[in-house]
Amino acid sequence: MRYVCLIGLALTLSGCALERTVTIVYYPTPPHSNTFPPISEFEANAQAECARYGLVAIHDWDNWTTYQRIRSHWTCVQR
């Protein structure tokens, strides 16, 4: 039983150390909408999401997905 508890504790602690990321999927030429932020505000949104965990967002990569969408990927790192 002791080994089961130690393994469970190790898995729990390793889950806390996982990398946090923010991914934003958008169309490159969307119609104007008040519910979705413009592309220029994506960095501010990623910074706000990472700041919830005391981290800073760094832009990692962009790529094209299906249906002409773009995926913007941000990685949260320590300050």
Q: What local confidence, expressed as pLDDT, does residue 68 receive?
A: 80
Provide the domain limits for residue 59.
19-78
74 in any annotated domain: yes
The answer to whether 73 touches 26, Cβ cutoff 8 Å, is no
Q: Which residues of the chain have pLDDT under 70?
A: 4-5, 8-18
pTM beyond 0.75, yes or no:
no
30 in any annotated domain: yes
Q: What local confidence, expressed as pLDDT, does residue 46 receive?
A: 92
Q: What local confidence, expressed as pLDDT, does residue 9 receive?
A: 66
29 in any annotated domain: yes
33 in any annotated domain: yes
8 in any annotated domain: no
Dist CA 62 CA 59 (whole Å): 9
The answer to whether 57 touches 47, Cβ cutoff 8 Å, is yes
Taking all residues of the chain, what is their mean pLDDT, rounded to a whole number? Answer: 80
Q: What is the largest CA-CA distance in the chain?
A: 59
Q: What local confidence, expressed as pLDDT, does residue 53 receive?
A: 86
Tally the domains of the chain.
1
